[in-house]
Structure 1
Amino acid sequence: MKIKKTQISFFPSLLLCVFFLLTLSFCTKAESPKQDYGVFLGMDTKDLHKLKDYKMVVLEPSNFSAEQIQEIKERGTKVYGYLNIGALENFRPYYEQFKKYTLAPYENWEEEYWMDVSNSQWQDFLIKSLGKQYAAMGLDGFFLDNTDIYYQYPKEEVYQGLKTILTGLKQYSLPLILNGGDTFVQKSIEDGSALSLFDGVNQECVFTKIDFTKPSYLSQDKETKAYYEEYLEKAKTAGLSVYLTEYQANSELSQEIDRYCKDNGFLWYNAESLELR
């Protein structure tokens, strides 16, 4: 009888142990760490659920409502809004209003045109209209594109125009991250104005590069990679936060990027494609 009683008590205990281990395994999987950073400019509302896996994301604000932005934030994700300050896309509802201030087509992006950032009407629109509208949606920061206009047109009025736009957007008390714009960033570091104008930089294609003729995604050449690494070291030393966006980095290259970013305190995102969905 003792043996039978022992067996009877053993099996429920065994079942409880198995149940506990399965539950632990499930919880561990469900609570896997969030990824630090993601850029999803091509994402629309049907894929909102994907953002819960990220601590910080960059989105196109015009694709979402303020309520949806708040919903994302309530899941513990910071939301930065994309704002193109140095170029104008032909699909924007304000394209007809500002196309007369465009300067030239944007190479490899046939729907986009470089903008005259020294134009006061463009500056006012970005600051007092679009910037104000987006800030009111509850964003955690702005992700500002195409300060590379200063590389295309290295004129003092272009440099000052960008500074005017950034200074104006600062009134919303949100962090500003510049995507690209290394020529502008380095000049602002040199003249001591960088930290008063913006808070961080995102650099695309430090370790990878894009062949726009296909398109396809390749490893970056050594010279360009070395240049960007030196530039990002300057940004870090100047007190700016640093982010990287790469495209289809394979497993081996991803490990290299991981080491580089961990060593320097940078965050990075491995995008599947230019569409950034």
Structure 2
Amino acid sequence: MRKTKLFIKIICVLILILSTALLSACSASTSDSAEKYIVLIGEDPEITEKLSDIDLLVIDAEYFSQNDIARLRENGIHEIYSYINIGSIENFRSYDTDFEKYTLGAYENWPEEKWIDVSAPEWQACAASRVDSLVQKGVDGFFVDNTDVYYNYPQESIYDGILTILDYMDHTGRKIMINGGDCFVKKYLTAEKNVLIDGVNQENVFTAYDFSNDTYTINDKSTREYYTDYLDFAMSHGCTAYTLEYATVPAIRRQAATYAAKHGYICCISDNIGLCLEK
């Protein structure tokens, strides 16, 4: 009988561990009442049945159907944002070859991507079409990536091109979160009277990822302070601040979560740069 009880206890513990592992890719801050924010843009619709009770989930909804989005809501996902890349083109997208002539240069550390001229009307029309498709699927907002194109190509035409795309998104009534893009965002929040963005997300505020060695570590103090100042600046202009950290060591994950909570950031901690549930 004792052996049976012990076996049952072991099974229960294993079930608990496996259930927790499904969300090991990301975790919110240290408070139970904190918003549960999870970024899984590396996942496909198979995750639909694995997720529940999340305040804000970011996926690449290009690969999800309208029914998939509805199913996520049924599972208790309160808000669903879709990843959308507006500043570079990825060679695995169906439309990549149509815009090769608008590319500006190589994207460091991401060989499948090239920076693109966001001032080109043809690219803006493509972005608008993708926005429309995502709206039809039922997403609540956009996780807008690669406005860093303005940092790499700091021209007024590039800045205005980003604004044109954001303005189109805003007219859909969906929320807008900018991922990275601190150079663009700081100018935007300073110069524009009508702020269209609702939040900013910054990767690797507390943590760091070494592409050359494929290692996860802690950011240096100066970089950490720079991004902290940036997020605080965004918050002072009415934006919600999110952080996306990458760490595999439990102690570093806890430190990153504590750091975010201390500064009032909503934090997701992933154990892999691919933003999947498992490596």
* Normalised-by-shorter TM-score class: 0.7 to 0.9
Question: Hey, what's the Cα distance between the residues in 1 that align with 2:249 and 2:209?
Answer: 14
Displacement of 1:192: 3.3
Q: Distance in 2 between matches of 1:103 and 1:46?
A: 35
CA deviations on 1:224-273 (whole Å, 9 max, x unpaired) are 00100011110010100111000015333333333333333321111111
1:123-143 per-residue CA deviation (whole Å, 9 max, x = no partner) reads: 11111x111011110001110
- TM-score normalised to the size of structure 1? 0.84
Q: Which residue of 2 aligns with 1:36?
A: 36
Partner amino acid for 1:174?
Answer: R
Name the counterpart of 1:20: none
Number of corresponding residues = 248
**Equivalents in 2 of 1:122, 1:268: separation in Å?**
32
The CA deviation string for residues 46-83 of structure 1, in whole angstroms up to 9 with x for no partner, is 22223215221110112211101011012221210010
Residue identity matched to 1:63:
Y
* Letter paired with 1:276: L
Tell me which stretches of 4 or more aligned residues in structure 1 moved more than 4 Å: 32-35
How far, CA to CA, are the matches of 2:108 and 2:48 in structure 1? 31
- Identify the range of structure 1 (228-237 vs 260-269) with the bigger mean alpha-carbon deviation: 260-269
1:116 matched residue in structure 2: 117
Deviation readout 1:183-240 (Å, 9 max, x if unpaired): 00000111134x5221110000001111111311111011100100011110010100
State the distance in 2 between where 1:163 and 1:230 align.
23
Asked which structure has the greater RCO (Cα within 8 Å, sep 6+), the reply is 2
TM-score (norm 2): 0.84
Give, in whole Å, the separation in 1 of the partners of 2:178 and 2:149: 12
* 1:145-156 map, 5 Å: 145-156=145-156
Give the unaligned 5+ runs of structure 2: 1-15, 21-31
Instruction: Return the alpha-carbon distance in structure 2 between the equivalents of residues 126 and 143 of structure 1.
Output: 13
Give unpaired runs (5+ residues) of structure 1: 1-25
> Which residue matches 2:185?
185
**2:255: which partner in 1?**
256
**C-alpha distance in 1 between matches for 2:266 and 2:34:** 13
Alignment of 1:161 with 2:161, yes or no, is yes
Aligned equivalent of 1:222: 221
Q: What amino acid sits opposite 2:121 in the alignment?
A: S
Indicate the residue corresponding to 2:102 in structure 1. Answer: 101
Measured on the aligned residues, the alpha-carbon RMSD in Å equals 2.1
State the match for 2:230 in structure 1.
231
Report % sequence identity: 38
CA–CA distance in structure 1, aligned partners of residues 45 and 130 of structure 2: 21
When you count helix as a share of all residues, which structure comes out higher? Answer: 1
Q: Which amino acid aligns with 2:63?
A: N
The one-letter amino acid of 1:190's match is T
Instruction: Work out whether residues 163 and 197 of structure 1, in 8 Å CA contact, stay in contact via their aligned partners in 2.
Output: no
CA contact 2:35–2:266 (8 Å) conserved in 1? no
The Cα shift of 1:33 comes to 7.8
- Check the 8 A contact 2:142/2:176 in 1, yes or no: yes
- Read off the aligned partner of 1:96 and give its amino acid letter: T
- Aligned-partner SS, 1:257: helix
Contact 1:83/1:144, CA 8 A, preserved across alignment = yes
